[in-house]
A and B are shown apart, each in its own frame.
Chain A
């Protein structure tokens, strides 16, 4: 599109380019390596998941993301990915940026963008380098203060352009909200294609770029990430009984870490990544145990005639939240992570299951059955205030984004299993639908450090 760029030669002179090139820190590279190794392109490109926004936040930052000036053939539309990320989280309102692309070093008339209703503006460039990689640059402007808020350059190969776009969205999100962005994180989930076809998949947080980690003829449930994002633990029925596995994503090696007589299920990593809480029935009914991540040294934590299941560690490692019907109906409890007296957390309704604590320990999310509807509730633990955050009614398996702002969960719409997002204030909502199969059992991975 070569329309005259009406806003680009205004009086505003952009501040000198700070060229804040992010340094390739070791940690950065390592985690990325893991993330992408897990993401190994397997076979032809899959049909993408589609995201449908069904609710927006109460407070939204009006932002315009102009198309990036692109030289050469870029396989991804970076600006479109940034827009989709910011829109999906519900905290931004996209102001139409028109068709014009502005280079990152072009002068833009911020007052005019402000007049169009955008408090902030993103411009950027994508240039194909001689070595085949792409130079991606962006600037974030505050149109009200008439100032640059951020500016960064990345060099990325073609297959990392999407990740680069997510990282740009993360920078923008953090600059404007103060919270870390989660767009460059990954999710794990299970797809049932048929009663003899199950896959454990890993994808970008927007459901794109999905990769298969495990394919099985038997069900797979309860995948969960290790805190460093290198391992997944899950329950597989491949030996015709539930057995807990730990799977190293970079290599694809896996081992059964809890394969005792009876059922083995509901794994959860401790915050230091060294211990798993699991549910075993080897000594009686469903009880919570701690075992080493290598399957050694099982220690029993609960002892009673009731069901105790779905253990989940608080991020500080102090508590294990879990589901128990010791009071006559399934409710959420917590106990000290070393074991000890349990404290009941939920009191509304007679069916509250699948607890997940927010990373800051403030919120408890769980599935509640009320009037035969299964919905996700978020309890402010300190205030004892409970909020239904979903508008779907067959909800399962909530999982917090690592910044605690969003919940991903499984639900059913139109007879199909899909994933859905809800902000913890219940305002923003989106649905992520796959091309085929029933999607379920999501687990949101950690921040790429």
Chain B
């Protein structure tokens, strides 16, 4: 989360009075608002001295999310132009994430819809939302409860690839699964 810092830009508050003219001076200039990063978190307290273990801990199950060879390493679903239909090739991917969510009930995800650069910004925002929602609906079929998923859209505002050809557009017509 970003914190908001308000920068009051040097106030040339020339508060002249307008006499009998039709004009009056501004009282003060508007500050520029700057959206900025929060201050860094304080450094963690020094770690306590190590404690000798009598027994080795039980082996932790490997989280498949961190396994680059798992299907779960893939997090993007791609779409056709102006479409939000899930192509058959992406159904196993979405269902794998859905099953993972069912097995890991503490997990929350956000699905972020994206569009290529063609067309209006707000309509693309709605189209990206529809893509994210299409992925969510597929996960709900696997058994993930809707409250654990937030679907949002970046529309065409945050393209992954900056080109202006079909290759770039295809890369940007996408919904990303983001674990939180």
B35: interface (CB < 8 Å) = yes
B150: interface (CB < 8 Å) = yes
Report whether A154 and B22 are in contact in the complex, using a CB–CB cutoff of 8 Å. yes
Of all chain A residues, the one with the shortest Cβ separation from B128 is: A263
Report whether A40 and B21 are in contact in the complex, using a CB–CB cutoff of 8 Å. no
Report whether B14 and A159 are in contact in the complex, using a CB–CB cutoff of 8 Å. yes
Residues of chain B from 111 to 155 with CB closer than 8 A to chain A in the complex: 118-123, 125-127, 129-130, 133, 150-155
B32: interface (CB < 8 Å) = yes
Report whether B21 and A21 are in contact in the complex, using a CB–CB cutoff of 8 Å. yes
B33: interface (CB < 8 Å) = yes
A37 / chain B contacts, CB cutoff of 8 Å: 26-30
B9 in complex: contacting residue of A42, A157, A195, CB < 8 Å:
A42
Residues of chain A from 39 to 92 with CB closer than 8 A to chain B in the complex: 39-43
Report whether B16 and A242 are in contact in the complex, using a CB–CB cutoff of 8 Å. no
B contact residues, range: 35 or more
Tell me the bound Cα distance from A153 to B16 in angstroms: 18
B80: interface (CB < 8 Å) = no
A contact residues, range: 35 or more
Task: Pick from A7-15, A110-118, A248-256 the stretch touching chain B.
Answer: A248-256
From DSSP, what is the main secondary structure of chain A's interface residues? mixed
Task: Pick from A28-36, A120-128, A289-297 the stretch touching chain B.
Answer: A28-36
- Minimum C-beta distance from B35 to chain A (A): 4
Tell me the bound Cα distance from A213 to B28 in angstroms: 14
Q: Mark A299-325, 1 if CB is under 8 A from B, else 0.
A: 000000001011000000000000100
Residues of chain A from 200 to 238 with CB closer than 8 A to chain B in the complex: 211-219, 221-222, 236-238
Of all chain A residues, the one with the shortest Cβ separation from B8 is: A252
A3: interface (CB < 8 Å) = no
B62: interface (CB < 8 Å) = no
From DSSP, what is the main secondary structure of chain B's interface residues? loop
A182: interface (CB < 8 Å) = no
Report whether A40 and B29 are in contact in the complex, using a CB–CB cutoff of 8 Å. yes
A241 / chain B contacts, CB cutoff of 8 Å: 110, 152
A154 / chain B contacts, CB cutoff of 8 Å: 21-23
Of the candidates B16, B30, B35, B157, the one having the most CB atoms from chain A within 10 angstroms of its own CB is: B30
- Minimum C-beta distance from A448 to chain B (A): 11
A215-B34, A353-B123 known; A41 vs B151 contact (CB < 8 Å)? no
- Minimum C-beta distance from B92 to chain A (A): 25
Which 5 residue pairs across A and B have the least CB separation, nearest first?
A40-B29, A155-B21, A22-B22, A36-B26, A252-B31
Chain A to chain B contacts (Cβ below 8 Å), 11 pairs = A24-B20, A29-B24, A41-B29, A43-B9, A156-B21, A195-B162, A221-B121, A241-B110, A285-B126, A309-B122, A441-B121
Residues of B within 8 A of A (CB): 1-2, 4, 6, 8-9, 11-12, 14, 16, 18-35, 110, 118-123, 125-127, 129-130, 133, 150-155, 157-158, 162
Q: With contacts A21-B22, A307-B123 known, what are 18 further pairs, Cβ within 8 A?
A: A21-B20, A32-B26, A35-B26, A40-B11, A155-B18, A155-B20, A155-B23, A156-B18, A164-B23, A211-B32, A212-B32, A218-B35, A221-B121, A238-B35, A254-B4, A263-B151, A265-B122, A286-B129
